[in-house]
Structure 1
Amino acid sequence: MTVDSAPTPGPLNPPAAGAPPAADLADPAELRVSPLELFFDLVFVFTVTQLTDSLAHHLGAAGLARVLVMLAVIWWMYDAFIWLTNAMPPTTHPRRGLLLLGMGGFLVISLSVPHAFEGSGVAFGWAYLLVVAVHTGLFAAAGVEFGPVLRMGLLNLVGAALVVAGGYLQGTVQLLLWMLAFGLQFAIPYLVDLPSFRLRSGHFVERHGLVIIIAFGESVIAIGVGAGDTDLTGTLVATAMLTLGVCVALWWAYFGREDDEHAVRFMAGLDDARRNHLAVRIYNLGHYALLLGVILFAAGAKTAVAHPTGTLGTAEAGALAAGVTLFLAANTAIRRTLGLTPLLPRLTAAVLAAATVPLGTGVCALAQVAAVLAVLAAALAHEELRPA
């Protein structure tokens, strides 16, 4: 949650006591993502990899439920750090040090993901509590009104307490407590004075775009893991290239028509209340769905590349198709909210991608991947060729 610019300190506008450094008060359009934020994002690469691997090894209802919940609680706080660095750029050594401490907390969370429901939930919970404490402490010094920051911090601490308690209890009770923490996230934006956290739209949109690129990197990693050390046959190379083609098509769906630049202009034109609530809908909830779609696709793609001429199990073929379908559906909903068109080609592609499951289970993995890519290519080509 972020602070827009105030009048530049000078002879006619002396800085208030306790005000943020002058570097924080620059034109919001000039705030760019810092190298430390990019470094911070490297931990999220590992998080997405861990979640994908966990899902691939437990590709059933229970495994999916666990990944849904873990991704939700992790993404809530990770996104909260995007709001934080938007409000208070890491321009001083104390800020950088605390941000790196939070980065360490996310690393421990990621390390504990594979066995979070089998004994590592305690480490997950305490690292999560550390992340919440660092975030709240830094936000308290960001120049935002103390009341909203206090309420936000206390509510996040309640969520962290549920995660910590669940880690000690394990099993179904653990899942239920973590689901309660997940549910609390929907209420928090309405329980704090959200307009107090003013956004710098350019930085905010750019940061979320970089997170999506990082998530696509997991799909590329899945291709490599799936191929392993097997011989590079023509079929394997073809499947790997087609899978990469699907990643490129999803990238194009997000970035290819300069939707991010439109999003910056659209959000900058809103008042604080509408902009912030829209930011929660699009960049927390909407991007949660996008990330989950990438994880599902990567989990299915890993098996597809490993066995290109063999048939896939229903779970693997379903994950591959569902990932693309969910990503397109979420992307279409976001574009509709931003007033972008067309929408029908992507919705049609989402439905057709879901229909490719029988190809994976009845023909071979290569056939399903090729069909998914063909559907995406047709939809995106139609958008490019249609009259403006």
Structure 2
Amino acid sequence: MDEPGRERRVREEASWQRATILELFFDLVFVFALNRISLRLLDDFHSGGLGLSEFAETLLLFLGLWFMWQTTAALTSRVRPDSRPGQFFVFSSMAGATVMAVSVPQGFEERALVFAGAWVAVRVSRLLVYFLVRQVRTKGSALPGLLSLGGSTVPWIAGALVHDPPLRGALWALALAIEFPGFVVGFRQWAGSQVAGEHLAERLQQIFLISLGEAVFVSGGAFSDSDLALPHGMGFALAFVAIVQLWRIYFYRAGLVLPQAITAARDPARQSVAAALNHLVMISGVVLSGAGFELYIINPTGRSEPNWLVAILGGPALFLLGRAPFELQVFGRISRSRLIGLLALGLLIPAVWHAPPLVAGAGATAVLVGIVVADARRARGREPEPPAPLM
């Protein structure tokens, strides 16, 4: 499938807008990766030990995996995935992401060096390929990547080697803080004005759908592991309805017109980076919601732990916190239903504090349904709103 000619290593303008089969193959790794993140969260919830430190540890592992996916998506928006360099970028990233995902259950404990080493190895190999294949037609240089790699490698590895969890977390947070600006500067310099807006938007839509698929997987697994009694069935039904509402809120209508919003933006590269950040928040909310679904499906009428509300109510709230600025980015305004939904989720906290988990799940699902109904009423009789990007 590779294209040996130099001129075939960069995506052509006529064909660069669609994701390839190889990129979809790469995404399959993240079905597994998001499942590992969900299981780590659930282990902490069931043990009653999900405090701020445990949540921060899982978040850092998730951010490392997200950065692997995002940088690979950015690379394949310019380099043809079916070229030799493109295939190397994709397959090496797949291998690295798989090792990182395997390490997640103990990724902040005894497998920390495996997790960090896999990420650093992929980053180093990418730069080596860049220097070996200088014929790839890109604008800019590898300097931002070199600087971020040089600055982040030490805290990644040092954090894996230390035995103090807070220090490890601080070092890994520093590594991500160094890598992100390097990625943003490098992407804007490398892509220039030729951002494959439709391709990047499609990739973000696909990873969001994968997060919804993970929520379905967790919910279905929880229902399958139960005794299929009526309360468990009610919990699964609520989870399924909630997943459909998350899909509906995302795609109607900002998620649907994201490709046009990026291509119509004055600064497509900046718009792409902003969209990726908003998707990071939304996907985090979906993954956290999936953990909440499992909690109230497995134990619908039992004693609820207060920290379970972090997932049951906090997951949908986090999704809305990403969805509101995403709508602002695409349309230049925020629907009141998003803000009212956030307020409603907050007001539910004292109301369901001592209630069974199923009651909290029903409240969260009702809020999402209310947002969808408000969106449908607002759109009734109106022409579809065109994107009006702020950037």
What band does the TM-score fall into relative to the shorter chain? 0.7 to 0.9
Please tell me whether the aligned partners of residues 242 and 369 of structure 1 are also in contact (alpha carbons under 8 angstroms): yes
Deviations 1:342-373 (A, max 9, x none): 51101111221233334544221221111111
2:252 corresponds to = 256
Counterpart residue identity of residue 119, structure 2: Y
2:166 corresponds to = 172
Within a 5 Å distance, the mapping from 1:284-299 to structure 2 comes to: 285-299=277-291
State the 1:268 CA deviation: 0.9
2:70 corresponds to = 79
State the 1:189 CA deviation: 5.1
Counterpart CA distance in 2 for 1:344 and 1:139 is: 47
Q: Which runs of 5+ in 2 are unaligned?
A: 45-49, 383-391
Counterpart residue identity of residue 384, structure 1: A
1:278 corresponds to = 271
Matched, 1:213 2:206: no
Matched, 1:55 2:41: yes
With normalisation by structure 2, the TM-score equals 0.86
State the 1:249 CA deviation: 0.6
Counterpart residue identity of residue 368, structure 1: A
Within a 5 Å distance, the mapping from 1:2-151 to structure 2 comes to: 19-21=6-8, 24-27=11-14, 31-58=17-44, 59-93=50-84, 95-138=86-129, 141=133, 142-147=136-141, 149-151=142-144
Deviations 1:209-258 (A, max 9, x none): 1001101112112213333432211221111011111111111111132x
Please tell me whether the aligned partners of residues 8 and 80 of structure 2 are also in contact (alpha carbons under 8 angstroms): no
Counterpart CA distance in 2 for 1:239 and 1:200 is: 41
Please tell me whether the aligned partners of residues 22 and 82 of structure 2 are also in contact (alpha carbons under 8 angstroms): no
Counterpart residue identity of residue 137, structure 2: G
Cα 1:151/1:37, change in 2 over 3 Å: same
1:381 corresponds to = 373
Deviations 1:47-81 (A, max 9, x none): 11111211222222111111222222221231010
Cα 1:94/1:194, change in 2 over 3 Å: closer
Please tell me whether the aligned partners of residues 95 and 138 of structure 1 are also in contact (alpha carbons under 8 angstroms): no
Deviations 1:149-191 (A, max 9, x none): 3322431343233212211113222111001012224432565
Give the aligned length.
366
Matched, 1:331 2:323: yes
Cα 1:47/1:360, change in 2 over 3 Å: farther
Cα 1:157/1:50, change in 2 over 3 Å: farther
Counterpart CA distance in 2 for 1:145 and 1:41 is: 27
Please tell me whether the aligned partners of residues 140 and 189 of structure 2 are also in contact (alpha carbons under 8 angstroms): no
Please tell me whether the aligned partners of residues 116 and 167 of structure 1 are also in contact (alpha carbons under 8 angstroms): no
2:243 corresponds to = 247
Cα 1:84/1:98, change in 2 over 3 Å: closer
SS at match of 1:86: coil
State the 1:145 CA deviation: 3.0
Please tell me whether the aligned partners of residues 57 and 169 of structure 2 are also in contact (alpha carbons under 8 angstroms): yes
Q: Percent identity?
A: 24
Deviations 1:329-351 (A, max 9, x none): 21011111112555110111122
Counterpart residue identity of residue 215, structure 1: S
With normalisation by structure 1, the TM-score equals 0.87
State the 1:22 CA deviation: 7.6
Counterpart CA distance in 1 for 2:336 and 2:89 is: 45
Please tell me whether the aligned partners of residues 297 and 319 of structure 1 are also in contact (alpha carbons under 8 angstroms): yes
Cα 1:334/1:156, change in 2 over 3 Å: farther
Cα 1:157/1:227, change in 2 over 3 Å: farther
Q: Which runs of 5+ in 1 are unaligned?
A: 1-17
1:194 corresponds to = 188
2:348 corresponds to = 356
2:310 corresponds to = 318
Out of 84-93 and 211-220, give the one that drifted further.
84-93
